C-alpha cells in the first residue's frame, strides 16, 4: 500500500512516499480502507518536535526519544471497513467509519488496522468521509475541555481564544449546541469565519485585548497558548474556569498555583480519545449541529504541502488529506 512516512524530525520535507505491506487485521481489529486523513497540530508537533516551552522532553518521550516511534502520521482518519478480525462484533465489511488513533497515528496510508476497542465509530449517512474525518481531533478536544473539564451548561458565557483554529472552530460550534453565549477571538482576516460558525460576538485580538473584560465569562477556553491566569483570571466570573488546552509548562504551573478568589479555577490537561465522544460528535454532525470547518484538501502525495499549509498563518480550521480510492 501507498503511505507517507518520516524517519527523522524536521520540516514538512521529512515526509516521504513509501510502499508498505498492507496490514492484516488481528482478531479484535478492523481493517479500514482510508479515504481521508488530516494534518492536525498533533501531526505538526510529532513531525517537528516543536513543543510548548517546558514540554520538550515529554514530546520526545511520547513521540520517540531520538527518532519518531510511529513513522506514519495521521491522528484521525475516515474510510470503509474492508475486513474484520474473527473477534470483531461492532463493525462489518462495508461500514463507513471514522477513527481517532491520536498519538498512535497511522492515517497517512491506504489502509490501517485498528482495534474495535479504540476510538472508532460509524459515520452518519449524510456525511462525506472527507468531512467526517475532521470531526475527531478538534471536536473531541473541544468536547472534553468544554463538557468534561469545564462542566459547560446552558446560559454559560464562554470565551474561545483561537476560535479560527481547529480546536477553536469546533469549540465555538459545540458551545452553541450546549446553549452557551459564545465569544470567539480571531485575527482580523478570520473574524467573518468565526461569526459564520455561530459565535455571538467576535473579538479581533490584534485590535483590542480580550482579557480586558471583568467578571464576564463562566468559561474561557484557550487554544492559542497565549493566555495566562494572571491576565485572564479577572475576566472570569466567580466560579469560572480557565481551560488551558495549550500552554507552556510555566504558564500551566503559574495558573495552577495562582491565588484564586471566588471559586475560580484553572484547568490544564490532555483530552483523551474516547469512542463515546466520537459517537456524540457524529450525532451532532448528523443533525447539522457540528460541521468541521475545512480550509483546504490535499492529495496524499502532497502531504508535505499540506503540512506547510497548516503552518501558514492564513490557514483556518482543518486541513484534510484525501486518498485516491479507485
Ligand atoms: N490538551 C490537549 O489534549 C490538546 C489537544 C489538541 C490540541 N492541543 C493543543 O491546542 C492548541 C490548538 O490546537 P489547534 O489544532 O486548534 O491549533 P490551530 O488550528 O493552529 O489553532 C490555534 C489558533 O490560535 C490562534 N492564535 C495564535 N496566536 C494567538 C495569539 N497570540 N492570541 C490569540 N490567538 C492566537 C490562531 O488564530 P489566528 O490565526 O486568528 O491568529 C489559531 O487559529 C495546540 O497548541 C495544540 O497542541 C491540545
Domain ranges, residue 86: 2-122+293-322
- Mean pLDDT score, 72-93: 98
Mean pLDDT of 16-45: 98
Predicted local confidence at residue 262, as pLDDT: 96
Ligand 1 midpoint to CA 283 (Å): 25
Q: pLDDT tens, 247-264?
A: 999 999 999 999 999 999
Ligand 1 pocket member 245 (CB < 6 A)? yes
pLDDT bucket at 83, cuts 50 / 70 / 90: very high
pLDDT, position 106: 98
**pLDDT band at residue 324, thresholds of 50, 70 and 90?**
confident
Residue whose CB lies within 8 A of the most ligand 1 atoms, among 231, 245, 271, for a mutation test: 245
Is 40 a pocket residue for ligand 1 (Cβ < 6 Å)?
A: yes
- Assess if residue 287 is contained within a domain: no
308 shares a domain with 251: no
56: Cβ contacts below 8 Å, ≥ 6 apart:
49
In the block, which residue shows the cell 491566569? 229
State the virtual CA torsion across 161, 154, 272, 225 in degrees, nearest 10.
Answer: 10
Question: Residue 179: its pLDDT value, please?
Answer: 98
Judge whether residue 36 has pLDDT over 90.
yes
Closest by CA position to 159, among listed 201, 214, 220: 220
Nearest ligand 1 atom to the CA of 168 is: 16
Q: How confident is the model at residue 326 (pLDDT cuts 50, 70, 90)?
A: low
Average confidence (pLDDT) over 194-213: 96
Q: What are the DSSP calls for 295-320, one per residue?
A: EEEEEGGGHHHHHHHHTSTT--SEEE
**pLDDT over 80 at 35, yes or no:** yes
Mean pLDDT of the chain: 97
Is the shortest distance between the CB of 185 and ligand 1 below 6 Å? yes
Is the domain of 21 the same as that of 108?
A: yes
The reply to whether 111 and 164 lie within a common domain is no
Q: Under a CB-based contact definition with an 8 Å cutoff, are residues 185 and 157 in contact? A: no
In a shared domain, residues 258 and 162: yes
In a domain, residue 70? The reply is yes
Say whether both 234 and 313 belong to one domain: no
- Please indicate, yes or no, whether residues 47 and 144 belong to a single structural domain of this protein: no
How far does residue 151's CA lie from ligand 1's centre (Å)? 21
The CB of 169 under 6 Å from ligand 1? The reply is no
Residue 166 has pLDDT above 60, yes or no: yes
Minimum-distance ligand 1 atom for the alpha carbon of 268? 1
Average pLDDT over residues 88-113: 98
CA–centroid distance, 81 to ligand 1, in Å, is: 32
Distance, CA of 69 to CA of 115 (rounded, Å):
19
Q: Given the C-alpha cell 473539564, which residue does it identify? A: 149
Claim to verify: residue 87 and residue 201 sit in the same structural domain? no
CATH number of residue 100's parent domain: 3.90.180.10
pLDDT digits (tens, 9 = 90+) for 38-65: 999 999 999 999 999 999 999 999 999 9
Element holding 4 (H helix, E strand): strand 2-5
Model pLDDT for residues 134-155, shown as the tens digit of each residue: 999 999 999 999 999 999 999 9
Kindly state whether residues 149 and 83 are assigned to the same domain.
no
230 in any annotated domain: yes
Instruction: Kindly state if the Cβ of 322 falls inside 6 Å of ligand 1.
Output: no
Q: Is 225 in the pocket of ligand 1 (CB under 6 A)?
A: yes
What separation in Å is there between the alpha carbon of 223 and the centre of ligand 1?
4
Taking residues 114-138, report their average pLDDT.
98
For ligand 1, atom 48: residue with the closest CA: 245
- Residue pLDDT, tens place only, 170-199: 999 999 999 999 999 999 999 999 999 999
Q: What's the number of domains the chain is made of?
A: 2
CB distance 246 to ligand 1 below 6 Å: yes
If one residue of 44, 162, 170 were mutated to test the ligand 1 pocket, choosing by the most ligand atoms within 8 A of its CB, it would be: 162
Same domain, yes or no: 56 and 29: yes
73 ligand 1 Cβ < 6 A: no
Q: With a cut of 80, say whether residue 325 has pLDDT above it.
A: no
- pLDDT class of 239 with cuts at 50, 70, 90: very high
Confidence of residue 301 (pLDDT cuts 50, 70, 90): very high
User: For 240-260, b where at least 16 C-beta lie within 10 A, e where not — what string?
Assistant: bbbbbbbbbeebbeebeeeeb
Amino acid at each position: 500500500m501507498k503511505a507517507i512516512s518520516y524517519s527523522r524530525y524536521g520540516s514538512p520535507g521529512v515526509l516521504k512516499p513509501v510502499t508498505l505491506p498492507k496490514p492484516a487485521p488481528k482478531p479484535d481489529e478492523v481493517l479500514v480502507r482510508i479515504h481521508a486523513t488530516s494534518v492536525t497540530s498533533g501531526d505538526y508537533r510529532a513531525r517537528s518536535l516543536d513543543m510548548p516551552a517546558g514540554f520538550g522532553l515529554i514530546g520526545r518521550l511520547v513521540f520517540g526519544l531520538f527518532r519518531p516511534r510511529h513513522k506514519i502520521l495521521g491522528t484521525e482518519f475516515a474510510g470503509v471497513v474492508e475486513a474484520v478480525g474473527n473477534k470483531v462484533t461492532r463493525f462489518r465489511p462495508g461500514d463507513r467509519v471514522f477513527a481517532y488513533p491520536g498519538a498512535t497515528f497511522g492515517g497517512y496510508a491506504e489502509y490501517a488496522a485498528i482495534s474495535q476497542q479504540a476510538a472508532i465509530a460509524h459515520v452518519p449517512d449524510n456525511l462525506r468521509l472527507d468531512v467526517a474525518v475532521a470531526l475527531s481531533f478538534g471536536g473531541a478536544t473541544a468536547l472534553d475541555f468544554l463538557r468534561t473539564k469545564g462542566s459547560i451548561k446552558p446560559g454559560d458565557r464562554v470565551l474561545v481564544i483561537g476560535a479560527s483554529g481547529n480546536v477553536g472552530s469546533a469549540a465555538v460550534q459545540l458551545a452553541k449546541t450546549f446553549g452557551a453565549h459564545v465569544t470567539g477571538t480571531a485575527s482580523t482576516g478570520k473574524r467573518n469565519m468565526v461569526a459564520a460558525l455561530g459565535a455571538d460576538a467576535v473579538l479581533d485580538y490584534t485590535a483590542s485585548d480580550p482579557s480586558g473584560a471583568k467578571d464576564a465569562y463562566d468559561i474561557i477556553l484557550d487554544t492559542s497558548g497565549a493566555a495566562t491566569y494572571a491576565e485572564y483570571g479577572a475576566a472570569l466570573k466567580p466560579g469560572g474556569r480557565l481551560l488551558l488546552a495549550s500552554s507552556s509548562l510555566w504558564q500551566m504551573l503559574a495558573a495552577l498555583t495562582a491565588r484564586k478568589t471566588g471559586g475560580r479555577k484553572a484547568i490544564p490537561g490532555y483530552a483523551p480519545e474516547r469512542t463515546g465522544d466520537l459517537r456524540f460528535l457524529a450525532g451532532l454532525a448528523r443533525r447539522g449541529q457540528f460541521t468541521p470547518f475545512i480550509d483546504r484538501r490535499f492529495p496524499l502525495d502532497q502531504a508535505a504541502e499540506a503540512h506547510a499549509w497548516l503552518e501558514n498563518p492564513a490557514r483556518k480550521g482543518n486541513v484534510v488529506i484525501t486518498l485516491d480510492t479507485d
